[in-house]
Amino acid sequence: MNQPIIRFEQLDFLGPDRGPDQLEGLKVLVLGLGTHGGGTDLVHFLHSKGAIVTVSDHAPRSTLNASIELIDSIIPEENIHLGGHQADHLRGIDWAVINPAIPPAAPFLQHVYESGVRPVTELGLFLAWAPHQHLAAVTGTNGKSTVCALAHDMISASGLPVRVGGNFGGSLLSQLESCSTETRWIVEISSFQASRLGTEIPRPPVVALTPFAPDHLDWHGDEETYFQAKLNLLRPPHRQSQSVIAAPDSPFVAAISELETTPNLISMIDPELQTNDYASANPNLDGVTGRSNLALAMTLAKKLGATKEGCQTAAKSFSGLPHRFEVVTRKNGVTFINDSKATTPDATISALDRIEGRVIWLCGGKDKGIDLDPLASSISKRNIHIFAYGDSADRLLGAIKSRAPHNLARRCDHLDEAFESAVDLCQPGDTILLSPAFPSYDQYTSFEERGEHFRNLVIGLEE
């Protein structure tokens, strides 16, 4: 069945009209510098190729000081515009590289649309310029970064060169020239990035799909649009035949048959039958979620050439990623777990399912409008005490009280108050779990900042 081209926003994102060695004198506007390093890496890459770079970001200088310091030696002050995007920033510009964090409804994108400037994305540039022989992408809702990191370690332990990036962190563009033809590339791709892959951008030949759950409804508008954004990674064009790795019960499997070009579907290794030995040897990979991540990473790594021995070595030594069910410490019989990266109800359900005994659950954040009934129902028969804070607290507590009225549930203004209440209540054998189920943007700049705050609160108990 042929599907029509899906447009996720008015702006039609394009591919580059030249190669990476033909950027001399090209006037490029980097729209959205950001605070996590990716934007600054992009600026350095473009400058190294001779492009004339201008930067525009809506945030004030006080927020971006660290990023500005990384580029102010190569970008003139007059080419750095902060505190808001203006139409005249597009004057004389050839390309606008648009940060994936800028939402489709941002008014300035209308100016880009009307200007005639070529709208591109960093991911689009990479996919257009990178070799595709050993290129893979990972997308889905939960577990993307863990699968990327674990597959990276398996390939590296197999003696093969490998790079990981994209939404995982850092720019891959600057690594293109330094890598060999044997380098394996693993790119984590968010729904924001996937939705902006236009019809000129070749898709990766291997795509691994992690579990899907509703997310980013405040951005995409509804669950179907969010799902289609992920699926956009499987639509044409392709430089070579595409292979897709997914669990047999993934909703992506049925949707794949509806695509214009049907990829080769690879079922991931059965997580119950073939990963038990690895998972039992590593508590960072235990539980249903841990085994699922391990199985998907193994299937992906082997597709890219990893050996069985390399997969075993990496699985047994994998230490996990920060802010993802991270055991901070155990003190006086109480376990403190930082799961700040759990920004969806589905991710929090997985975290709660991994814990035996009483849980004191710290939760809340920016409300995205996702259905909370499954989360509330999942705790109805559990011994869980809830301290909710932030923008979502009232709606979350309302859902919990309707489904689990016997659970202790209290509202707090912020994480400090929730943590203090949890410590006052806890007893030996308890677990104090930060697993917010919501993004951090109501009170923090990132899930990392939120997780570091929790970690510092825990460390403060030991002083």
Give the DSSP per-residue string, 367-429.
Answer: ------HHHHHHTTTS-EEEEEESTTHHHHHHHHHHH-TTS-EEEESSHHHHHHHHHHH--TT
Sequence-ordered list of residues with C-beta below 8 angstroms from that of 463, at least 6 positions apart, any chain: none
**Domain over 326-461 is classified CATH 3.30.420.40:** no
- Every domain of the chain and the residues it spans: 27-120, 125-317, 326-461
Architecture of domain 125-317: 3-Layer(aba) Sandwich (3.40)
Q: Looking at this protein, which amino acid is placed at residue 222? A: D
What is residue 406's predicted lDDT score, i.e. its pLDDT?
85
Amino acid sitting at position 440: S
Q: What is the pLDDT of residues 19-30, one digit of tens each?
A: 999 999 999 999
HEC assignment per residue over 132-167:
CCCEEEEECCCCHHHHHHHHHHHHHHCCCCEEEEEC
Q: Rounded to an integer, what distance in angstroms lies between the CA atom of residue 346 and that of residue 212?
A: 9
Q: Which two tokens stand for residue 410?
A: 């209290």
Least Cα distance to 293 among 278, 308, 309 occurs for 278
| C-alpha torsion sign, points 172, 173, 177, 178 | negative
DSSP letter string, 278-343: HHHT-GGG-HHHHHHHHHHHHHHHHHTT--HHHHHHHHHH----TTSSEEEEEETTEEEEE-TT--
Parts of the chain with a pLDDT under 70: 1-5, 36-38, 272-280, 462-463
- pLDDT tens for 178-202 read 999 999 999 999 999 999 999 999 9
Cβ atoms of 355 and 433 within 8 Å: the answer is yes
Residue-level pLDDT at 36? 62
Give yes or no on whether 125-317 and 326-461 have one common fold: no
Q: For the domain 27-120, what is the CATH superfamily, name and number?
A: NAD(P)-binding Rossmann-like Domain (3.40.50.720)
Does pTM top 0.75 for this prediction? yes
What pLDDT score does 274 carry? 61
d(CA 303, CA 88): 48
Report CA-CA distances (Å) from 401 to 394, 396, 408, 419, 432.
Answer: 11, 9, 9, 21, 20
DSSP H helical ranges for 233-282: 251-256, 276-280
Q: What residues form DSSP beta bridges with 94? A: none
